[in-house]
Amino acid sequence: MMEFDPELWLRIKNKKVTAHQMQILSEIAQTHSQTQAALNLGISVPVLHRHLRSLIEKLGTELTITSPNGTWLTDAGKIVLRIYNKYREMLEPEERVTICCTPITNKLLEEALIDFETAGNKYQISVNDDSYNLKALYLGRADLVLFDDPNFAIEFEGTPDDKILTIDIFKDTLVHQEKDNKYIKYKFGAQRLGFRFLDNENKLYKILYEISNFDHLINCDESFFINQSLLVRRNIEISSSSDLKMLVHPIMAVSINPTEEIRDIVKILKKKAERLSWENTKQ
């Protein structure tokens, strides 16, 4: 198996700042001593001075200030180091499992993780829309993603199960509130399927705008689509203007190189989702 050890460098004022130069700045910030910083880095003090001076000349501003009490970072030095550390943290492997979902599935996910967290495991739940979560999966920032719209999982299907896990968590449907031909589009859920349904029915409509606020959507005067499972979870009953069977779709889970822990989480998710499944919440 290939092992990767990415190294970060910054480009500031069109000048390349290396990881080694930033390590020098970091050691000075921690020790307030150029001598101790050089010792920690395994270099001589003159070499440290040379690298530090090169960095200062590149950026055209003083990064440290020296007094009888030691060496300290200037405001500019603190800013440069803070930005570097921010990006460096993004490269460090996550010690906890990161799972991406949307407001449609985040409460379900929280319930499923309770037993795992009690056992001492650490998890991070990131709530966003399907498009953002797909990018997180590709970039390796998500260990597992729950997609509202199955279209986002299509490209992963057919891959060997040990490489990519794709599985239906439960069957959901869209409740259609048709008040007139003006629609508000909810940012989450398989909205694509709702508007495709209108197209197939040759209905004329106009999408006024997109929102992410559930309460605003439910209380608006315009038409909209909303997930049945979200209504069930919030104990809200809304009659659908269209046949619910026409808008049934799976909520999908996808993981690249899934671990046994991820597979266990998916099993619990499926079990917890049984009461949300469309088959068990038919109107």
What would the two tokens of residue 67 be? 């007094």
Q: Identify the domain boundary among 91, 124, 146.
A: 91
The verdict on 195 and 126 lying in the same domain is no
Q: Are residues 52 and 76 in the same domain?
A: yes
pLDDT, tens only, 40-77: 999 999 999 998 998 888 888 899 998 888 999 999 98
Is residue 124 exposed (0-12), middle (13-18) or buried (19+ Cβ within 10 Å)? middle
Let me know whether 263 and 132 are in one domain.
Answer: yes
The whole-number pLDDT of residue 91 equals 64
Q: Write the DSSP symbol of residue 94.
A: P
Cβ–Cβ under 8 Å, residues 148 and 189: yes
Reported as a single tens digit per residue, the pLDDT across 219-252 is: 999 999 999 999 998 999 999 999 999 999 999 9
Both tokens assigned to 5 = 């050890």
Residue 279's pLDDT band, with cuts at 50, 70 and 90, is: low
Maximum Cα interatomic distance, the chain, rounded to a whole number of Å? 80
Alpha-carbon distance values, 152 to 148, 190, 271 (Å): 8, 10, 23
d(CA 74, CA 61): 9
Same-domain pairing of 186 and 137 = no
Burial 242-275 (b: 16+ CB within 10 A, else e): bebeebbbbbbbbbbebeeebeebbebbbebbee
Domain that residue 23 falls in: 10-91
Q: Give the model's pLDDT for residue 22.
A: 85
Tell whether 5 is covered by a domain: no
From 59, 91, 123, give the residue that closes a domain: 91
- Whether 224 is in a domain gets the answer yes
pTM of the predicted model over 0.85: no
Q: What is the pLDDT of residue 270?
A: 92
Predicted confidence (pLDDT) per residue in 182-209, tens digit: 999 999 999 999 999 999 999 999 999 9
- Do 263 and 140 sit in the same domain of this protein? yes
Of 39-43, 121-125, 176-180, 238-242, the one with minimum mean pLDDT is 121-125
Mean of the per-residue pLDDT values of the chain: 87
Question: Confidence class of residue 2 from pLDDT cuts 50, 70 and 90?
Answer: very low
